[in-house]
Homo-oligomer: A and B are copies of this chain.
Amino acid sequence: MKTLIIVSHPEIDNSQTQQFLKKGSEEVDTTWHHIESLDKIDVLAEQKLLKNADRIIFQFPLYWYAAPFGLKKWEDEVLTRNFIYGDGTYPLKDKEFGLVVTTGMPLKDFQHGAKENITLDEAMAPYRAIAHLGKMKILTVFSVPQFWYMDEDRQMQLLIDYERYLSQKMPDSLLNREEWFNDRLNKFVSKLDDGDKFTGNLILDTFTNNKEDLSQLNDTLKMIKNGEE
């Protein structure tokens, strides 16, 4: 699966959060496409990038409940109505559309009656409306609130969740997670040198056994529910 990350940030080199996420994106099969780094927007080239992707992500810091103006400029130029409809062919049809939104505010502020008085989901409605018009499949928003306050453990958890958001089969079910972790673990072990490979394979076996145990447990539970035990 090819994932295209349309990143918008006016000062990306100074953004620790974006640099951190970029490293994560490099661990999985993605294209990192930073809008503000483009000399000029080549509409046809951008549209081709979109057509070639299976999953399209808009990633940005939340400025006034929306993306920075750089992404809006890109939208206004690249996403012609004609391209989104494609004269009835809908070139983005069935592609997945996701949003990665970083914010300096805590998530609890994004509620009615709280400080921001709007939910993150409501603020993202205009982007979803475009995706809907293009008959895309809409993913839930991946929010990154207050990155700088996270300790190292939470940052690592964020990184894995982000990598899954970019590359894991959706919906985010237990089965799809297992498959993703299994795949990642296999790749990791195959890269180890011979000395570590023995230990690596032991871990892999344990993971696979646990997965099988879990699967059997699930089957047993189903049987009990159906009264077939």
Contacts and interface: CB of A to CB of B under 8 A. Distances in A.
Contact of A76 (B69, B116, B128): B69
Contact of A64 (B10, B76, B117, B123): B76
Given A118-B126, A129-B116, A129-B123, A69 B69 contact: yes
A63 interface: yes
A21 interface: no
A172 interface: no
Size class of the contact patch on chain A:
20 to 34
A123 B129 CA distance: 9
A38 to B, nearest CB: 14
Nearest to A129: B118
A189 interface: no
Contact of A123 (B63, B72, B118, B126): B126
A15 to B, nearest CB: 15
Interface string A55-71: 00000000111111110
A23 interface: no
A75 B122 CA distance: 19
Interface in A78-108: 79
Interface in A129-161: 129-130, 132-133
16 contacts: A10-B76, A64-B72, A64-B75, A64-B76, A64-B126, A64-B129, A64-B130, A65-B125, A65-B130, A66-B126, A68-B72, A69-B70, A69-B75, A118-B125, A118-B128, A126-B126
